[in-house]
């Protein structure tokens, strides 16, 4: 699922009516979910968080920036936070299924449109920055809104999009792309803020000032303090005391959890605390966290326990929560704290049905769910069996030479299982979208053209969902073959069924691709997909037959 987070900051934190007028623009945008609106009285600033599809988020951001320019007047704005415009900053953040490059592209497209249609000068920052000095937001904000007229006189500070012309009402806007910021606190069994800060100095990237034997700060030839770097990159940290909990915490910001994930720092904080005679009692997440960060933690702690990390997503998350002590000071609900869980592609999912309910739904006269969803389910069952055989091999002495391999197979199978399960819903969604396209009006020539275009796009989507299942089926067959050769021989029949269900998924998906092709007008697309699908199906049959031979031979 392609998900992007957007966190625009608007220069209004006191007038709730104006704030609501802006956020309604976001809420009314399809494929977008408004997560949080956080106004600040003293800063006179509101931080808004929403997620959705890349195109949906880009459209919602534009509408919000446009509305902010209409209802806010920067010439009358006063607040404690530095700012340069009605929409001060608007970053795009990759969440899932998108890259940083995708978010940089979104920043460029939004920046160009804001400058062109709204007459607001736009600067690009962080990963979207066009100049090194513009990567840091603080550099762009120097002089703030009031200094923009003078700033525009300097050719070096011409906006990235738009003319260097002062917009008195809206000011300027900074648009960019950055990694997800995780706000996280480690809890200590002390009230002493200084001890918490001592640990923070050791773990944060900036580290601490170097001191001489007398405790004086050591400086370089230019008088600048020399720092001793801390242990972790992309980590900011301080120690503080929290009245509500009556404990000291190490307050940490993870600028890029892919460089340094929270569980690395949590483990190190435990070691550092022990040196000071302290104990870490748990931790606290402030705001939301990407699912992958918790999955990484779950795999890390299961591996430390000598167990297989190739378990369902829910088990990994449960392991992460308990290992990090995320419910130490407050209940931790993954449904509310994991950002991906805040956005659903469909209101009702087939995956919420039990086996009997799914079979019943499949058996009635509605055309969806049908063969496409069933083929995807077969793929999920295949991957699940491969993971099961792998996990039944982990820790067995007679298979000590393949432990690394079977753990990797289990993890790959779990990921593949989740992809197949998503396709169960996607296939039905694609079919329903096609039916909706056929129901579009065709009274006028223009309506007829729009209807034909919608049908063509819907047929392509209905073709590509099973095509994706067909592609994944090859992976499922390869995993089933690998575990049949390396896995626990007592579960050989299970590996065989994994192969059979993967082959059924492949051939079933192939049928669903073929049935859609005659309805396509794009002959080049049709020819290409038909050729690729036939090749994949033939490969699946070959792999399936080879696996059957292995199973028959070994079971004699």
Q: Considering the domain boundaries, does residue 397 fall inside one? A: yes
Catalytic residue among 81, 192, 315, 328: 81
Q: What angle do CA 458, 350, 355 make, to 5 degrees?
A: 140
Q: Considering the domain boundaries, does residue 430 fall inside one? A: yes
Which residues touch 122 (CB under 8 Å, ≥6 apart)? 111, 112, 114, 115, 159, 160, 161, 162, 172, 173, 174, 175
- State whether residue 258 is helix, strand or coil: coil
Q: Are residues 112 and 128 in the same domain?
A: yes
Q: How far is CA 16 from CA 35, 332, 416, in A?
A: 17, 30, 46
Distance CA 513, CA 467 (A): 6
- From 140, 159, 177, give the residue that closes a domain: 177
Looking at residue 539, its pLDDT comes to: 98
- From 308, 333, 358, give the residue that closes a domain: 333
Range of the structural domain that residue 310 is part of: 182-333
Looking at residue 520, its pLDDT comes to: 94
Q: Are residues 188 and 151 in the same domain?
A: no
Residue 427 is among the residues annotated as catalytic for this protein: yes
Residue corresponding to tokens 């590996």: 495
Give the whole-number percent of the chain exceeding pLDDT 90.
91
Distance CA 264, CA 257 (A): 10
DSSP 14-83: S-HHHHHHHHHHHHTSTTEEEEEEEEETTTTEEEEEEEE-HHHHHHHHHHHHHHHHHH--GGG---SS--
* Burial annotation 453-475 (CB, 10 A radius, 16+ → b, else e): ebbbebbbbbbbbbbbbbbbbbb
Residue corresponding to tokens 């550092």: 272
What integer is the mean pLDDT of 47-73?
A: 97
Catalytic residue among 88, 160, 425, 427: 427
Confidence band (pLDDT; 50, 70, 90) for 42?
confident
Q: Are residues 484 and 468 in the same domain?
A: yes
pLDDT digits (tens, 9 = 90+) for 423-444: 999 999 999 999 999 999 999 9
Q: Cα-flanking dihedrals φ and ψ of residue 310, to 5°? A: -85, 65
Looking at residue 348, its pLDDT comes to: 83
State the angle between helix axes of 492-516 and 371-391 in degrees (0 to 180), rounded to the nearest 10: 160
The pTM score is: 0.87
Q: Are residues 159 and 242 in the same domain?
A: no
Confidence band (pLDDT; 50, 70, 90) for 244?
confident
Q: Considering the domain boundaries, does residue 386 fall inside one? A: yes
pLDDT digits (tens, 9 = 90+) for 107-118: 999 999 999 999
Q: For residue 58, what is the domain's CATH number? A: 3.30.990.10
* Burial annotation 1-16 (CB, 10 A radius, 16+ → b, else e): ebbbbbbbbbbbbeee
Q: Is the dihedral of CA 151, 152, 158, 164 positive or negative?
A: positive
Residue corresponding to tokens 């949590």: 266
Total domain count for the chain?
3
Q: For residue 484, what is the domain's CATH number? A: 1.20.120.680
Cis peptide, bond prior to residue 255, ω within 30 of zero: no
What integer is the mean pLDDT of 64-82?
A: 95
pLDDT digits (tens, 9 = 90+) for 85-129: 999 999 999 999 999 999 999 999 999 999 999 999 999 999 999
What integer is the mean pLDDT of 31-42?
A: 91
pLDDT at 223 over 90: no
Q: Is the dihedral of CA 16, 20, 22, 26 positive or negative?
A: positive
């Amino acid at each position: 699922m392609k998900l992007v987070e957007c966190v625009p900051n608007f220069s209004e934190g006191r007038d709730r009516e104006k704030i609501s007028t802006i956020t309604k623009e976001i809420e009314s945008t399809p494929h977008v979910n408004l997560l949080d609106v956080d106004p600040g009285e003293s800063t006179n600033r509101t931080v808004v968080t929403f997620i959705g599809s890349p195109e949906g988020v880009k459209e919602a951001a534009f509408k919000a920036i446009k509305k902010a320019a209409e209802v806010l007047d920067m010439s009358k704005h006063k607040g404690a936070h530095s700012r340069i415009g009605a929409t001060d900053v608007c970053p795009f953040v990759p969440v899932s299924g998108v890259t940083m490059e995708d978010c940089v592209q979104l920043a460029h497209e939004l920046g160009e449109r804001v400058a062109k249609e709204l007459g607001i000068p736009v600067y690009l920052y962080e990963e979207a920055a066009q100049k090194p000095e513009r990567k840091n937001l603080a550099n762009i904000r120097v002089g703030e809104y009031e200094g923009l007229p003078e700033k525009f006189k300097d050719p070096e500070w011409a906006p990235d999009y738009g003319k260097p012309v002062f917009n008195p009402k809206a000011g300027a806007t900074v648009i960019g792309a950055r990694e997800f910021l995780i706000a996280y606190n480690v809890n200590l069994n002390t009230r002493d803020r200084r001890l918490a800060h001592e640990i923070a100095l050791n773990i944060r990237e900036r580290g601490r000032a170097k001191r001489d034997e007398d405790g004086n700060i050591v400086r370089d030839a230019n008088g600048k303090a020399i720092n001793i770097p801390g242990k972790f990159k992309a980590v900011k940290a301080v120690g503080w005391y929290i009245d509500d909990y009556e404990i000291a915490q190490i307050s940490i910001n993870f600028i890029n959890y892919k460089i340094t994930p929270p569980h690395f720092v949590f483990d190190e904080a435990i070691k550092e605390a022990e040196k000071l005679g302290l104990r870490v009692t748990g931790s606290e997440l402030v705001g939301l966290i990407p699912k992958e960060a918790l999955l990484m933690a779950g795999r890390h702690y299961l591996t430390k326990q000598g167990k297989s990390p190739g378990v369902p997503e829910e088990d990994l998350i449960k392991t992460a929560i308990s290992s990090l002590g995320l419910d130490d000071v407050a209940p931790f609900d993954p449904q509310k704290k994991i950002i991906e869980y805040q956005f659903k592609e469909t209101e009702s999912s087939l995956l919420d049905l039990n086996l009997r309910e799914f079979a019943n739904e499949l058996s009635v006269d509605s055309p969806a769910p049908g063969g496409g969803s069933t083929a995807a389910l077969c793929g999920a069952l295949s991957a699940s069996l491969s993971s099961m055989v792998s996990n039944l091999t982990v820790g067995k002495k007679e298979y000590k030479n393949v432990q690394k391999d079977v753990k990797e197979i289990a993890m790959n199978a779990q990921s593949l299982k989740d992809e197949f399960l998503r396709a169960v819903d996607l296939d039905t969604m694609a079919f329903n979208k096609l039916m909706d396209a056929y129901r579009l009006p065709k009274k006028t020539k223009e309506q007829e053209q729009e209807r034909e275009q919608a049908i063509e796009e819907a047929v392509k989507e209905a073709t590509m969902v099973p095509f994706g299942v067909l592609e994944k089926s090859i992976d499922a067959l390869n995993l089933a073959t690998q575990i049949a050769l390396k896995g626990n021989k007592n579960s050989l029949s299970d590996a065989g069924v994994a192969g059979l269900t993967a082959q059924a998924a492949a051939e079933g998906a192939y049928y669903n691709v073929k049935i859609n092709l005659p309805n396509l007008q794009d002959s080049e697309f049709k020819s290409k997909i038909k050729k690729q699908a036939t090749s994949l199906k033939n490969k699946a049959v070959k792999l399936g037959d080879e696996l059957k031979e292995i199973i028959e031979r070994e079971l004699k």
